[in-house]
Structure 1
């Protein structure tokens, strides 16, 4: 596997730390900014909303750019947005910086996945995507708890400064490992051809599956910190450790999932989503029992992330003539779920429900996702029968 693929994974770690760390900082940020926890949770949704729009827009805008130029541009803007977020005392301005940062982070994701697949080749597609996406799981293991600790002891703004520095270091790695120059003329993507390739109904079924599976995971993940302190009864000092367990589970899940994504995509999805339903149900029933809730959170990360390589690599398999837009639209699908999860959880809390209700929402969404996976499996059978 080329070194550049691992560098892209490290860059995703730097940016993914920002995406994830707010889940561990909601109480501190709410107190400092003078807003409620559900309103602070909207900063997570705003980030996802920026990614939702940014992926396809920037994929089109930078379609013919040298990939190294695009990646460096995105990293520079991302770092600047976090400097601005660390300096502002205003909730609305912070919300805007989250959207801007997420917008370019989505562009980075889309270009990074295509770059990694191109460097690794089609036979190692799932593995390459697993390494890049693995940067996000490392962020859950290291970045999320570290950001929580930094935020609790030095203030949440210090965590934003740390992300800006990490992004700058990632840019150095991109400069030194990603080839420069424009794509070869015969390999230059053509926008019209990419749009035509997206007409496949199975591609849109994949996007719906991605969005729903992500919502099923994120609705619980977004409120883990207040759930652990208010319902499970843990002290705030234990929150980073439990979030680290979630990250270990995520890393384990994505590692296993990347090995089975290419050979057994549907079975991987069935096992991952089915496990997510079971674990969400356990979490809903045992939120107030630490001995059960803490292991459930570890398994939540494992099953939730086991599907990630398959959901990403299937976009290339179903739309091989549209690698850039297929990847970008799938990034948007992921962020439909990341946007919807905190929003649905916030609605439940505002309606007077307690935190176990959020896990029940995740379980119900997981069951719906299994229905989409079944439809996808049936579509695969029909395609093979007519081939």
Structure 2
């Protein structure tokens, strides 16, 4: 070995290197001997001091020797450094990943006489790379799975980023809303949401991102015809490995039919089936709101159809139902948007007027109702005469009055109207 080579080798040894360091002596062009083995090599790959001076084939199994010889011959013939990665197990069974660097040293004739083998432990790096690759593969697989699910789903699947814009939306949007998925990309999702639902949706996304909670919310989106479609959203926030919010995954199902059904049930619960007017329950709720609100004085009208029992008994219940429906229609037309009309049951009806300014206003409405009901009634080619009696009670200007109290006053006024011969109204002031 040249003096310069010896100096180089000594410098390497003196650096206290923590990697495996071997020096291989080359004789007769391709005969390989161990000339130096450091302590790290002895600890990790089981070489001993007795290996120094021996041929490589005397130390290693035939398969390992063929692998080492092949790499060393490549350095000898090319006279260039060679680097490769490998994996091996220590005598204790620990798995190591390594980067091996074979560096040739030359004599005066330029022939390779030594090969310095430096084996650097890259186990941590390799495991990190493998983990990253596995994560990448899992991500790709999950993306593929996500895309397969999303593109075949009848629900609306959306990825909303931190800025509130759409990163992805499933093709089902064309069937559900009549809008192509490309028209959503990079646009704020709120552009397609009902104005009354935008803030609720923002809070849903923010709460999920803040608390990492699964969220559920109902909201409306506009379709291509300009109509609003009801959706029920189930969504969760997705975070990266640093815990940073990436996007909100929302799966929304069209619940328009359900909402319509629920609205119908709610309507039935608060409306009379025969006349479609608010029923007794709805009436009392609205009367309570009127009396406890700040809409000024309230006038309560209670009405009966005069001699309705005789109509029912003389012409049958079907004709009685026709009279009830026609009475409701005329009463609604007479009051219009000045008050609330309700059917309390049987032939009993009620009207609530709010923000009463004068007694004359109450009288005008009552007279209008009487006149509307007095108009001739036509059923099955016959002409009928139907009238009504009305009792009115007005809430005090100052002070409060309960539902029961104002109802009793209105009933008393109705009794007075009937005593006066019916087909008239009385006001209990």
Both proteins in one fold, TM over 0.5: no
Q: Please identify which structure carries the higher strand content.
A: 2
Q: Please identify which structure carries the higher helix content.
A: 1
- Structure scoring higher RCO (CA < 8 A, sep ≥ 6) equals 1
| TM-score, structure 1 normalization | 0.18
| TM-score, structure 2 normalization | 0.17
Instruction: Please say which structure displays the higher CA radius of gyration.
Output: 2
